[in-house]
Amino acid sequence: MSKLGKPASLDEFDRKILSVLQRDNTTPQRTIGEAVNLSAPAVQRRIKRMTEEGVIEANVAVVDPGAVGQSITIFVEVEVISETLEQIRKAKREFVDAPEVQQCYYVTGEADFILIVIVSSMAEYEALTHRLFFDNPNVKRFRTFVAMDRVKVGLAVPV
C-alpha cells in the first residue's frame, strides 16, 4: 500500500539511512549515525518518521525458499478478457489472497498481470492454476516460466 498523503521529501540523510537499511535493517542506529554523520537519536527519529509516512513499508527477513521444503519459484503472465475496473479489482483480490502468490503486478504490454508464485511441487502449482486461472472465466491466457535459478533477489530501491 503506497502512502499518497505526502510527497515525503527526503534529504540526503534520509537517503543514506534508507540505503543502509535496505541492505541490513539490523544495523545499529549508532553505526548508521557514524556512517551518515548524525547522532543515534537523530537516526532513530528519521526512521520513525519514514516508517509513519510509509516510505519504509516493512521490515522483513528474507528466507531461502530452498531451505523451507524444496520450493519452486514460478512466473506467470496472465492475460484477462475484460479489463473493466471492476474485473481488474476482482482479479487483483483473488491473486493477492492466494498465499502461493508472492508478488503480483498489474502491467502494460502483452500481459495484464505478472505473478511470482512459490510452491513446493508442480502438483501444487497445477492445483493453483485450476483454482486461479481455469476456473476464472475472465482469464484468457496464461504463460508459465519456472525459475531454475534465483540469480538475484532483492526488493531494494536505488536511493
Partner DNA sequence: GCTGAAAATAATTCACT
Partner DNA sequence: AGTGAATTATTTTCAGC
Residue 71 as a binder of DNA (CB under 7 A): the answer is no
Q: Which is nearer to a copy of itself, 110 or 137 (CB)?
A: 110
| Contacts to a copy of itself from residues 17-36, by CB under 8 A | 18, 21-26
Residue 42 as a binder of DNA (CB under 7 A): the answer is yes
Burial class (CB in 10 A: 0-12, 13-18, 19+), 46: buried
Residue 41 contact among DNA, a copy of itself, none, beta carbon within 5 to 8 Å by kind: DNA
For 92, list phi and psi in degrees, rounded to 5: -55, -45
Residue 56 as a binder of DNA (CB under 7 A): the answer is no
For 74, list phi and psi in degrees, rounded to 5: -130, 135
Chain CA centroid to CA 153, Å: 11
Residue 25 contact among a copy of itself, DNA, none, beta carbon within 5 to 8 Å by kind: a copy of itself
